[in-house]
Amino acid sequence: MPPGPDQQRLRPEERANLVAYIDGELTETESRALSTKITHSATARREVELLKKTWEALDKLPRPQISDQFQDRTLTYVRSIQIRQGTRLEPLAGSFTAALKIAACLFLVGSTGAGGYFAVRNFWPDPDARVIRDLSVAEHLDEYLEVGRFELLDALKNSPEFGPGR
Q: pLDDT tens for residues 113-127? A: 999 888 888 888 877
**Which residues does the chain have with pLDDT short of 70?**
1-7, 85-93, 163-166
pTM: 0.36
Chain-centroid distance, C-alpha 131: 49
Q: Are 19 and 47 in contact (CB under 8 A)?
A: no
Q: What is the pLDDT of residue 1?
A: 43
For residue 5, give Cα distances in angstroms to 30, 32, 42, 93, 152: 19, 17, 9, 52, 107
Q: What is the pLDDT of residue 92?
A: 66
| 30/36 Cα distance (integer angstroms) | 10
Chain-centroid distance, C-alpha 65: 51
| 74/81 Cα distance (integer angstroms) | 11
Q: What is the pLDDT of residue 90?
A: 65
| 7/45 Cα distance (integer angstroms) | 10
